[in-house]
Every structure is written in C-alpha cells, then in structure tokens.
Amino acid sequence: MIQIANLTKRFAGTAVLDGIDLDIEQGEIIVVIGPSGTGKSTLLRCLNFLEHPDAGQLTLGDLQVDVTRASRRDILAARRRTAFVFQNYALFANKTALENIAEGLIIVNRWPKDKAHARAREILERIGLADKADAYPASLSGGQQQRVGIGRAMAAQAEVILFDEPTSSLDPEWVEEVLGLMKQLAAERQTMLVVTHEMGFAQDVADRVVFMEGGRIVEQGPPAQLFQSPQDPRTRDFLRKVLAAQPAPQTL
Amino acid sequence: MSVLDFDYMLGLVPILLSYLPLTLEMAAAGMVLALALACGLAVIRVLKIPGLNAATMLFISFFRGTPLLVQLFLFYYGLPQLLHFLTQINGITATIMGLTLHFSAYMAESIRAAIVGVDRSQTEAALSIGMTNGQLMRRIVLPQATRVAVPTLMNYFIDMIKATSLAFTLGVTELMGATQKEAAGSFLYFEAFVTVAVIYWIVVELLAWGQRRLEARLNKAYSR
Ligand SMILES: Nc1ncnc2c1ncn2[C@@H]1O[C@H](COP(=O)(O)OP(=O)(O)O)[C@@H](O)[C@H]1O
Ligand SMILES: [Mg+2]
C-alpha cells in the first residue's frame, strides 16, 4: 500500500509538484495522464528519490518517511520499495540482459550470485527473452531493451513499479510487445503507477486514471468514468487534444 | 671510414639493455601509483566532494602547469630542506614520486571525462534500484569509463617511459644515465645517443602495437 500526502517539489522556486495526495492499493494499476511539463515524471522521480521532494509524507509498504527529514537510510529504503522503468530504458551497457536483472539482487539485496542468476533466468522466461540472457543491451532492439528494463524492475520485488512513459522512445513496431508485458504484469496484480500517453492501455488496464496538470491532480476515476464523462474542463480539453492525435480506444 | 662506429653501437646495445629493466620498473611503478591516485582524484571531481574538490583542482592545475623536471628537482633537492625525514630519499624514489604526481594530474582529467561520458541515465537506474554511489561507481560507471579511458591512459604510460629519462638528472643510472656515462667514456656521443634513441623507439613501438590491439578489442566489447 502506497500513500502520498502533500508531496511538493520546487525547481527554482516554481512548484512543479504542488501538494500531491494519492493512495494506491496493493495490486492497483494507476495510469497518470496530463500535458507535458506538468510534473508527471517529477512525481515518479520523487517517489524514488531521484529528485528530493521539498515536502510531503510517503508511506511505502512498511516504510513511512517525512521527506523533509529523510535520512540516507530512508532514501535507500524508499528506493528498494519502488522500482523504476525509464523512458530510455537506461540499461547497464556493460552488463548482459541477465546481469542487468540480477545486478540489484546481488549488490543491493546481497543474494549469492547463483541464486540471483536463477531468479533472473525465471524473469527472462517471463518477459520472453530467455534466449537473450547473454546479449548486451547494444545488440537488443528497443522493445527488447525495455522488456529487460521491466525485468530489472520486476526483480526488485518493490511495492510498486513506476513506469515513466515506457513506450515513448520506442519505434512503433515495438510498442505492442512492451504494452503486452505490462498487461501481463497487471493481470498478475503487480502494483503499478504508469505515466503514459497510450490511452488504449489506460482504458483497458487501469483501475484508476489520474489526470494531472500544473503540478496538481485535477481529476481521477475509473477509466470509463474519466474518459467518458470527464468533469473538469481541463480534463475534457486535454482528452480532446490527445484523442484527436491518436486513434481513440475502441470502447470510447 | 664510416660516419658511425657500428661496432661500438652493437657492443653498446647489451650494456644499455641491462639498464632497461630499471627504466621500465620506474615507469610501471609510476603508472600503477598514478592510476590509483588519478582514480581517487577523478571520483572527487565527479562527485564534487566539498573541500576536496577545490584542493584537487589546485593539485591538478599545479602538476599540469609546471614542467616535470621542475617538479623532480623540487622533490629531490627542495623538499628534504623542509622535511628532514626526506633527506634519505633516493633518486629512484623521487622519480617515481614525481612521475606519479605529474601524470596522475593528467590521468585524473582523462578518467573524469570518461566517467562523465557514461550516460547519466544508467546512474539513475542504479540509484533507482537502491545502489549507493560507491556501488554504482564500482559496478556500472568505472567499468565503462575504463574502456573509454584505456587508450588515453596507454598514451600516458608511453609518455611516462620516455619521461623516466629525466631520472638521470637526479643521479639515477637508468637507460639514459647509462648512455650518458658510456658516451662520456668513449667520446662517441652521436653513436651512444642514436643507440639509446633506437632502444626507446622500439620499446614505445611495441607498446603502441599492444595498445592498438587492446583498442580493437575494447571497441568490440558490450556488443555481443
Ligand atoms: N531537474 C530539473 N531542474 C529544473 N526544472 C525541472 C527539472 N526537472 C523538471 N523540471 C521542470 O519541471 C516541470 C515538470 O517536468 P516533468 O515532471 O518532466 O513533466 P512531465 O513529465 O509531466 O512532462 C517542467 O517545467 C520541467 O521543465
Ligand atoms: Mg515526463
């Protein structure tokens, strides 16, 4: 269970996150949408302490942190409870697919190498890349790299996996395989917080869609409700623009 | 009568070669120590560790900004005047010290550039799974930076071998010092210095050949 209360982040005096409150149930899949520059990435990065928030309280499973008083130890603990999937994959270039997935288990969780590699093989199996165990990222397609990126996040066994536009850097031909893997995780009730412009994915997979603008949550609800009867004019305006730019989900 | 006394030169080769190990040992010791120091300095610069960062910049600026020969004289003749326990310092130690400090300044900057060149997003990925700065440096950043830095570092090693010849000014009889002595005995200066030049040249070419092979291998890495 994740609780975010009054999460605030300023860059050069400007509030990029302006008091975000959000609770996420275990097994819940939340999709965050909103115009670019609105603080969606910053929200995910603050949960993972890649950015240090200026104020707020975080509950990540058994960990509670007042971010203004977060110690180094709290930050490491928070990072272990949140896994991150990056837009540009960010795989370790000097490690094979298998090693990318096993690295955190070995170094952070201090598992013996054999056990970590065995787990990494299981994960490679699940992400459909068992035959690429020994391949370096440079020799993988974008879609394969992102699946390894997701595999690395899966290995962390975090409370929540944070996805920051996981398909935005991909050539169109690879988008489906990555979304397919994310759907598979969703079906296994992996808790996920996903920033994406893939409205079809939000429609099909999300339990809840959150619309952000200007560093705040403007509106949230189940996808059917948010897409079909958005309450706030900003939400309506955004959806109209996005849906004009990409084919509407079938069910809309 | 030929211009060069070839017989003298051929006879000189084995004599001079017996001093080559000392030359190479000084360079090797200097290289190992300089590498270790340079890695430390580079990490301080990259992490911008308060206080140490400014001191490191000053260190690098000084050792890159003054001639190696001046630095060697400073250590060998100058420092013992201040620090009396150093009166025992011998020429070889002073040379290794000078080479270490001088080259570490250059090498630190190459290593720093190689570290900074590793895609920042990999650092974030390592942090995101809970690695500490030390762990991500050791496991992710430094191995990749090494591949980038190795060719440059090899160049410094080659420079360092040539620079060991300055040790003769501190009274060390290494390759250059031995040549000087032989030449002074025979008055065949031209022959002696041509011979030693060829020896340095061959050693450097051998290393350069090794460097090219290493580089070719490094270029192939991480793409399997
Ligand atoms: N490290 C940073 N320094 C300064 N400004 C930043 C930084 N990161 C993000 N911003 C600014 O914060 C705002 C929100 O950015 P971001 O969270 O990336 O938005 P989104 O992901 O919704 O597009 C943008 O105006 C961006 O320019
Ligand atoms: Mg973003």
Atom of ligand 1 nearest to the CA of A215: 14
Q: What is the pLDDT of residues A145-192, one digit of tens each?
A: 999 999 999 999 999 999 999 999 999 999 999 999 999 999 999 999
The domain in which residue A126 lies consists of: 2-245
> Residue B219: pLDDT band by 50, 70, 90 thresholds?
confident
Please check whether residue A79 touches B, CB under 8 A: yes
Min Cα separation A92/chain B (Å): 6
pLDDT at A149: 98
DSSP annotation string for chain A: -EEEEEEEEEETTEEEEEEEEEEE-TT-EEEEE--TTSSHHHHHHHHTTSS--SEEEEEETTEEEEGGG--HHHHHHHHHTEEEE-TT----TTS-HHHHHHHHHHHTS---HHHHHHHHHHHHHHTT-GGGTT--GGGS-HHHHHHHHHHHHHHTT-SEEEEESTTTTS-HHHHHHHHHHHHHHHHTT--EEEE-S-HHHHHHH-SEEEEEETTEEEEEE-HHHHHHS--SHHHHHHHHHHHHHSPPPTT-
Cβ-contact A51, A42 below 8 angstroms: yes
> Residue A116: pLDDT band by 50, 70, 90 thresholds?
very high
Q: What is the rounded average pLDDT of the residues B58-83?
A: 91
Q: Is residue A250 domain-resident?
A: no
Rounded CA separation A226/A232 (Å): 10
Q: Is residue A251 domain-resident?
A: no
Architecture of domain B28-172: Orthogonal Bundle (1.10)
Nearest by Cα to A67 from A5, A15, A21: A5
Q: Is residue A61 domain-resident?
A: yes
Residue A146 alpha carbon to ligand 2 centre in Å:
17
Min Cα separation B123/chain A (Å): 8
Q: Which of A92, A94, A136 sits opposite B125 (nearest CB)?
A: A92
Q: Domain ranges in chain B?
A: 1-19+175-219, 28-172
Angle of the B20-47 helix axis to the B142-163 helix axis, nearest 10: 140
Is the pLDDT reported for residue B202 higher than 80? yes
> Residue A84: pLDDT band by 50, 70, 90 thresholds?
very high
| Closest ligand to the CA of A32 | 1
* Parallel, antiparallel or unpaired: strands A160-164 and A192-195: parallel
Q: Would you call A93 and B124 a contact, using CB atoms and an 8 Å cutoff? A: no
Angle of the B189-220 helix axis to the B20-47 helix axis, nearest 10: 40
Atom of ligand 1 nearest to the CA of A164: 21
Atom of ligand 1 nearest to the CA of A212: 22
**Domain count within chain A:** 1
CB contacts, 8 Å: B147 with chain A: 94
Q: Is residue A252 domain-resident?
A: no
Residue A25 alpha carbon to ligand 1 centre in Å:
27
Min Cα separation B67/chain A (Å): 38
pTM of the complete model? 0.84
Is the pLDDT reported for residue A62 higher than 70? yes
Residue with tokens 């080559």: B20
Is the pLDDT reported for residue B222 higher than 90? no
Ligand 1 proximity of A41 Cβ (cutoff 6 Å) = yes
Q: What is the ipTM of this complex?
A: 0.93
pLDDT at B83: 77
Residue A90 alpha carbon to ligand 2 centre in Å:
15
Q: Is residue A165 domain-resident?
A: yes
What's the CATH code of the domain at A55? 3.40.50.300
In the predicted model, what is the mean pLDDT of chain B? 92
Q: What is the pLDDT of residues B44-65, one digit of tens each?
A: 998 899 999 999 999 999 999 9
Rounded CA separation A226/A207 (Å): 11
Q: Is residue A111 domain-resident?
A: yes
Q: Is residue A96 domain-resident?
A: yes
Q: Which of A91, A104, A134 sits opposite B224 (nearest CB)?
A: A134
